[in-house]
Chain A
Amino acid sequence: MASPAPAVDSQSTQPLIETLRACTHDVFGTMVGSTLAEGTPLAGDALRPQSNVVGQIGFGGSRCGLVVFYATSAGAGVITSSLLGMSEGDEPSKAEVADAIGEITNMIAGSFRTRMATDGDAWAISIPTVTMGSDFYMTPLSDGRRTMLPFRMGDHEIFVELVITTKVRRA
């Protein structure tokens, strides 16, 4: 688990972080059948999770930003096997892992959007994109306020990041 850092996000984004954390627990508890342990949220980009599979969804409306999901290959494989109900010992294909992590990201971001809409924030979300590989990291907008939520699923670390833009971008 990532070591705790003092920085937690500013007050204005704290409700968003709490909501995103609750959505992540809900999706994993309901669809993956896993109870997640959680670490301390880290603000900024100091933490670059070791990850091989990254799901990402943008949202826009009264707030704009990204929800990003990070997992290692092994962790993503466990998630995929569980979602697909695969037998022990069966290895999911790369395509299955990509689709499953896209769906997990979609469910987390979709639940997040729905809960924020209940509170009066109406957003649209993008379709998910999934990046797979090694030796890469994600660099969102330079004006984005980033908060990383670390979780542990058994032996595997996973991370959910919230990036909120602090400026309105116009084409």
Chain B
Amino acid sequence: MRFLVVDDSTTMRRIIINTLNKLGYTEIVEAGNGREGIDRVSEGPVDLIITDWNMPEMNGIDFVRSLRAMEGKQHVPVLMVTTNAAKDDIVEALRAGVNNYVVKPFTPDTIKEKIDAVMAH
């Protein structure tokens, strides 16, 4: 299973990648913002995307909107990992095409639950 992790923070990318490794997932590509994320998706298939919201150049919401407009990418599962957890934020993310939501701080168990949930769909 191939993951794409999109976050401008190298720390948060590393935390997420370490968590995925612990869960047994090792095929992971990275991007530092939404625009790079679109590039990575264009370069090859990904099975699940984990993205931040607040990023320079292209934020997570615009990234997901752009992704959903790409041919064949309408149904790639997307998890958003962010501190933006007010009700209005979550509604905006889901409307943009995010499938599920992880609020920082998070545990590995939370990431696993959310991955399992979006993959079950």
> Which A residues are closer than 8 A to B by beta carbons?
26-27, 30-31, 80, 83-85, 95-96, 99-100, 102-103, 106-107, 109-111, 113-114, 117-118, 122, 127
Contacts and interface: CB of A to CB of B under 8 A. Distances in A.
Contacts of B9: 99, 102-103, 106
B82 to A, nearest CB: 8
B18 interface: yes
Contacts of B88: 122
Interface in B82-121: 82-88, 103-107
B12 interface: yes
B11 A103 contact: yes
Nearest to A30: B105
B15 A84 contact: yes
20 contacts: A83-B14, A84-B11, A85-B15, A95-B10, A96-B10, A96-B11, A99-B10, A100-B11, A102-B9, A102-B11, A103-B12, A106-B83, A107-B104, A110-B82, A110-B83, A110-B84, A111-B83, A111-B105, A114-B83, A114-B85
Interface residues of B, number: 20
A95 B10 CA distance: 10
A30 B106 contact: yes
A31 B106 CA distance: 7
Given A99-B10, A122-B86, A83 B104 contact: no
A69 to B, nearest CB: 14
Given A27-B105, A80-B11, A103-B11, 7 more contacts: A26-B105, A30-B106, A30-B107, A99-B9, A103-B12, A110-B85, A114-B84
Contacts of A83: 11, 14-15
Given A122-B86, A127-B54, A31 B105 contact: yes
A85 B21 CA distance: 12
Contacts of B86: 113-114, 117-118, 122
Contacts of A114: 83-86, 103
Nearest to B104: A107
A103 B11 CA distance: 7
A138 B11 CA distance: 25
B23 to A, nearest CB: 14
